[in-house]
Structure 1
Amino acid sequence: MGEPIGFVGLGIMGEPMATRLARAGLPLVVWNRSERAARALADVGAEVAPDPRTVFARARIVILMLANADAIDAVLRAPGAGLGDLVAGRIVVNMGTIAPAVSQRLAADVAAAGGVLVEAPVSGSRRPAEEGALVGMLAGPEDAVAEVAPILEHLCASITVCGAVPAALTMKLSVNVFLIALVTGLAESFHFAEQHGLPLATLRQVLDAGQMASPISRVKTEKVVGEDWAPQASIRDVLMNADLIVDAAREAGIASPLLDVARALYAESVAQGDGALDMVAVLHAITARTVAAGDADADAEVRIRPAQGPSEHPALVAVWRSAVDATHDFLAREDRDAIEAALADAYLPAVHLAVAEVGGRVVGFAGMHDGALEMLFVDAAHHGRGVGSALLAHAIAEHGIRRVDVNEQNASAARFYERRGFEVAGRSETDDAGRPYPILHLRLGSGGV
């Protein structure tokens, strides 16, 4: 037996990938948070480590197949273990998908600690992972890439060397733009056919026989027709990828119109409780939109209700993004990112939330605290349809709201409140966080509604 290879993370993708390596005769030492997957690897000959530190102690090349950057940090920067203690003299192979900018910083940190980072993201879902048919992308120092490539050959039908970090992850996100657009479009195709009374099996037959058919489309058409929603790539993971793509696009100053729409749909899917289902189950969110729009009278009526707690936060964040994209072009990129990062965990839990629905779909929300309207956002597609007015009326009538602060650069918001009886009572040169965005302090006048 040769020198063992470390493998950390045995989830939907990691388990079949590690299993293939073990069955190919490569000595493996593995670790996973849950014992079930680790036991399955032990059954095919892998050594199961009690913790990540042991994996790094036993192996010079360690593969990470973890869910996100936070999970990577939890392994590499665990309390009581310095990064250098783990990675010095080792090649760390990140096969998970994280933001390219985060990967670039991680590569620098690993290098400073005496190790080498190789990016090795893959395109493909669980079935290609089981079959060794993934498409691999590599980036990093040439000598390290040359060592890692033969290992990936057991997992991939093809491998492309992309250059230096973060080129492989940037390439992976580029691939995922097409993947997400393809599967979302496929789901809408089935929805369109179903709503017109066409047999879904017949649509599958036509699609699978046509020029647009591909291995991924054939797998997903089979799942839709069979109502098999077991995840190959879960909706929650796809939403994470869509977030990474749109964020990278904004950082680069480029448009991402298809992914903006797709991301909203996947956020709605997560909010509906479908986050653990396969990505093609986004079909349910598309269907929900049709159901919501089915009754013209109901569609025109705005319903205000209390928020349903943290499970609804992804849908509220999606509304926030849509509203901010339409009205807050004055925000610097880093400030917008900081606000969004804190929204679900800090800002939303700190206020009493009211949600606006149109035809059963969340299209706006307001947050109130101690007599002040702390936030009011409406999905851009519903601007001018009375949603904001309904939320404001509710905040005033039910929560006694008399104060609101508005960004001075957001002239349309200032006009909205002034037309409803709010008056400027003061001005601050910066916002509450000290950022250079002047704030107008408005108070409801005696004649306001």
Structure 2
Amino acid sequence: MEHFITSFSYVNTPFTLHGENQLTVRFSLKDVGETLINFTSSVPDGDWGMKDKESAVVTVLLNGEYNQDYILFYGNEPFTYERMIGSLPPGEHELSFVFQSNKSSKLIIEAIVHMIEIRQVKESDYEIVFYQHAPVIYGRHLMSPFENSYTDTPLVLFYYSDHTEDGAMIIEYHIIFSHEDGGTTATKLMSKWGRTSDIEWVYKVKVDPRGRRLLNEDETEFFQGAEHITTPFKGARGLGNHPILQVATDNGNFSDQISSTYRYFLKPATCLPRQLNRETVMDKYQWTYLISAKEIRRQERLELSHDPNTPLLSDPRHYLYIQSTKLTVEGKDAQGKVDFKVKLLNKETLFSATHQNFEMAYDADGPFSTTVKLPKGTKISDIEKIYVSYIKEICAESNYSIRVNGIFKSFFLGGGDMPSRPFIFSDKEVEVSLLYPQQIIWKRDD
């Protein structure tokens, strides 16, 4: 439970951070716990979709010492950034906020503060364990010193909580970045992952029933290292007892060896059940679609003339987003792939998520997402049927099949680049195989 401590409102007289004009606030804590800040700010003339206007960077000092940097990516609209500042003892504390021109985008000269709210999760709260182990993350600096201020910026941190037979619990943290400069291409991201953001697992730890790391066991904490290798964590801790990691690759993998000079400390926003798509978190924080779309338009070469029959990347609003789940039956160690296809009213063409390039299909069992590129201006009311199609795997048993359990949600992005109603839902389960290669999973008026 997050407890309100105090707030500082500048709604009527917004405070401008620039040059030597910094803001300092003081607050008092009665209990030990993890302290959080809701920082509501806007950036005049800021726009994540415009080069040299992407963000303002504000450095946070806690009791006179560097705590972290806020990357203010939401532009000139007030937006609340939810961050942690670490474990603090009872007593008086001081926070200072300083605009950093050398870390901010070239044409950004100030940031506006509208509200600061201090909250705390006490050590006596059950949820404290999920805050205590959240990672502090140093930003990427492969191409420039502060590159997360204009590319692949961190948006949301969430976690899974898995109980083990011995009474322990494994907490696994994932982060949503605005995009992925390396690794999977944007076109393949849309087909295989159903989004242009990058979602990566960061760090996982095994804790006892009291929430303490199991120090008497070998290798109870890991992070996702380069090349997606699960790597034992041997790094430092800080801001309490938080593991410290750094974004070390251009596809969102990490290192426990720190060389960067800026960091961020995202709050664990929500616990995600394993049976749900990770994109469910994006649906909860819909502005993540907006920021990712802005970055895509700024960085990627979108096709000049939209053509739904090509796999070339187009504007994110021209895709149908689909969330589902699948299970391979009799696959012997191989996990089957499927393709989603869409038929529009009064059209015979079936529009494919993979464009017949089956390397672009998701290849693991469980929840997954994809998109189908459709003619410009297509609406939900234009869709007649959605099909699931079997993709044959050479290495799998000839009689294997793939069971697809409905559509959790399907939608277009609206004019604000966020999921727009109406949605499509289906609880119909279909099974596709070599004998039955295509099944209807949703049709109008079902």
TM-score of the pair, normalised by structure 1: 0.28
| Structure in which a larger fraction of residues adopt strand | 2
**Higher Rg of the two aligned structures:** 1
Determine which structure has the larger helix proportion and give its number: 1
